[in-house]
Amino acid sequence: MDNTKTAPDQDNFETEEEYFKACREHRKGMDTKTAEEKHTPGPWMIDENAQIIAGKSVLGRIYSGDIFPNEDLPECTANGYLIAAAPEIAAERDRLKEEISPLKKRIEELEAASKEILRFKKSLDYVVEKEFQYAPNCLSALNKLEQLLNPSTNGK
């Protein structure tokens, strides 16, 4: 099936059923690339017939509520504008992903550094705890050593 064809135009079909069948057949022929790789470049616009237009191509038609077009509903128009903004939204998403990427990497680096700091703090806490545990004995031993080395301080 030719993947370069535009979506079927409803005006070319006698019944809604024929139109939807043609739409299903059109979608079957689409390749499996991601949406980012294959969407029609913008800008997209919505016309007075509730169709999404890109350049001279009709990309689709907006429906609201049920399967039949109803251009009079404000919801249909709002949906159309939202869909027409899809290329700009996708471009902004891609820009934000690119902008966020170095920040995510920096967060990972900081998290790793934080884990190292916590590990070091635990080790330091352990050493300090042990040091204080033996501190009175050490102080007593130092006093005795000082008395032995400095006999003149024995009487003081």
Nearest one of 22, 17, 94 to 58, comparing CA atoms: 22
Measured in Å, how far apart are the chain's first and last C-alpha atoms? 106
Q: Omega into 43 within 30° of 0, i.e. cis?
A: yes
> What is the residue-averaged pLDDT of the chain?
76
Residues 81 and 71 sit within 8 Å (Cβ to Cβ): no
pLDDT number for residue 99: 94
pTM of the model: 0.44
- Identify the three-state secondary structure at position 114: helix
Inter-helix orientation angle 86-149/74-84, to 10°: 60
Residue 90 has pLDDT above 80, yes or no: yes
Strands 51-54 and 57-61: antiparallel
Residue type, 121: K
Check residue 148 and give left, alpha or beta (phi > 0: left; psi -120 to 50: alpha): alpha
Check: CB of residue 59 under 8 Å from CB of residue 6. Answer: yes
Instruction: For residue 10, name the pLDDT band (cuts at 50, 70, 90).
Output: confident
Torsion of CA 124, 127, 128, 131, to 10 degrees: -160
For residue 75, pLDDT over 80 is answered with no
Residue 1, pLDDT score: 37
Question: Averaged over 67-83, what is the pLDDT?
Answer: 68
Q: Where are the domains of the chain?
A: 10-84, 94-153
Ordered strands of the 51-54 beta sheet: 44-46, 51-54, 57-61
**Which tens digits make up the pLDDT trace of 96-105?**
999 999 999 9
